[in-house]
Chain A
Amino acid sequence: MKVAIYWGCEIPTAQYAYEMSIRQVFPHFDIRLVDLKGASCCGGPVRSINTSAAMYLSARNLALSSQTGIEDLLVPCNECHFMLSETKYRIDNDEKMREKIEKLLAEERLTYSSEVKIWHVIDLFHDLVKVDAVKAKVKRRFEGLKFMVHPGCQIIRPSEIGRVDHAERPIKLDALVEALGAETLDYSEKLDCCGAALLHSHKDAALSLAGSKLKAVQSYGVDGFVDSCPYCHMMYDAKQEEAATTVGGKLSLSVLYYTQLLGLALGVDQEKLGLHLNQSFNPNKLDARAKNILIPRGNLDDRL
């Protein structure tokens, strides 16, 4: 089947590992991704400046998606997923806003259609592909490994607009990691925010939010931390060292995108999944058990 994909800004301009791993894993499930042409920012950061301009941006991307003739739209970034879903909910229910936005879209000869179905990586795998189908494709099972997952904030709240998972007790990402043979642990900090939205205006607070969550996760002694949002991943992976300075002590937790972990389980080459871009992922830090599974042919190990 074909699924349209809206990448947003952070993924195609910085978080390349997420894009690479998404492009690698979906064909294994007979899903062809179709990139939107001329897509723009979702409007997430514009919302603080001008809410209706932000909604125009979201609606424009939804209209580009309808233009492809494909009903399903994959939005792998949590912030974009929220902004697009929020806009869809608003213009489907608020005639005035719809009229205002349709007028702006008409200038580019675009039309908004309420038919588009917005997916995130997590619910696309969990609800459409199904956990059993994921399980069936796995070539390398992560038996004996323990992970903790971070679903993020904006794909689970607010439930009134229809979200990917339960607002207070999200379990879908756990189920998807368990489908790969690994164990996931529940933890009290699971719903804590990564702090990314504050990074450029209140840096210390942002790093401290990321740092305290990482510190907690590390203290439970898991083999890795799994996320699925480019902003959360940036905070937990690239900013991990800096975040450690705000909480005291050293942080050395391997952080991976779910699509990277899935790719490894499917037998995809590490470099094709962009695993060499994960600053926090250190195969040498993993115990021997994890090493055997996460480093298939020892080639990455040789280079390090």
Chain B
Amino acid sequence: MSLTDLMTMAKSNKMLQRQILSQLWEVHPDECFQCMRCTSGCTSLKLLELKPHEIVLLTNSGFVEELVSSDIIWTCASCLKCRERCPQKASPYNTIMALRNLAVEREAKVPEVYMKVVAQILETGLMQQVKMVTSREMQPLNRKKLGLPKIQCPDDKFKSSFMKALGG
């Protein structure tokens, strides 16, 4: 049976819901009884209006399409309080990560920084380039000047394995 949200006329989508559930391991959103412990301690609730218990409820009701195309799944600060405090092993954190993965797969709106990081890892193995820093007295300094050893980046074989990992 497909549900209809009478506010938006959105229909639930069982196929996408199954896709989310298949990504989760030892996490059971369907056991959530909406106690809201996750939301009451959520870092992003006050500033960004993230309500983890609603994310779990919408996932359980099959409104996955709506979540995947919403900015709200990108407001999680990954503080892991919801995962720690959930009494039902329904961890909204893991559900949010699965929703983000699905958003990428479906080419929905994804904050630019995440794609940039992947491109950078493919280039050097690390998520950002080695930075020049300044001391309090505005003296520009790098690893060499600070007496730190050179970074040994992974070789090309790593790139092809990482590409495969991203593809599968």
Task: Mark A residues whose CB is within 8 Å of B.
Answer: 9-10, 12-14, 16, 19-20, 23, 35, 37-41, 45-53, 56-57, 60, 79, 82, 90, 93-94, 97, 100, 104-105, 107-108, 153-154, 157-159, 167-168, 191-193, 195, 197-198, 200-202, 205-206, 208-209, 274, 276-279, 281-282, 303-304
Contacts and interface: CB of A to CB of B under 8 A. Distances in A.
B162 A53 contact: yes
B133 A46 contact: no
Contacts of B110: 49
B80 A208 contact: no
B48 A205 contact: yes
B141 interface: yes
A51 B98 contact: yes
Contact of B166 (A53, A97, A167, A274): A53
Contacts of B98: 51
B129 A154 contact: no
A108 B77 CA distance: 34
Given A16-B133, A198-B75, A202-B75, A51 B83 contact: no
**Most chain A CB inside 10 Å of its own CB: which residue of B79, B129, B141, B164:** B79
B135 interface: yes
B160 to A, nearest CB: 7
B117 A108 contact: no
A13 B26 CA distance: 35
Nearest to B166: A53
Contact of A277 (B48, B75, B101, B141): B141
B84 A53 contact: no
A302 to B, nearest CB: 12
A23 B149 CA distance: 11
Contact of A13 (B115, B131, B152, B160): B131
A66 to B, nearest CB: 16
Contacts of A93: 26
Nearest to B89: A160
A60 B158 contact: yes
A197 to B, nearest CB: 5
A136 to B, nearest CB: 28
21 contacts: A9-B127, A16-B133, A20-B148, A37-B152, A38-B152, A40-B162, A41-B121, A48-B97, A48-B100, A49-B101, A49-B110, A51-B101, A53-B165, A56-B165, A90-B25, A104-B164, A153-B80, A158-B83, A200-B111, A202-B47, A282-B136
Contacts of B43: 192-193, 195, 209
A12 B77 contact: no
Given A47-B97, A201-B113, A279 B47 contact: no
Contacts of B147: 20
Interface in B96-136: 97-98, 100-101, 104, 110-111, 113-115, 117-118, 121, 125-131, 133, 135-136
A159 B97 CA distance: 19
Interface in B137-168: 137, 139, 141, 143, 146-149, 151-155, 157-158, 160-162, 164-166, 168
A40 B158 contact: yes
**Most chain A CB inside 10 Å of its own CB: which residue of B127, B131, B165:** B165
A48 B75 contact: no
Contacts of A276: 135-137, 139
Contacts of B143: 12, 16
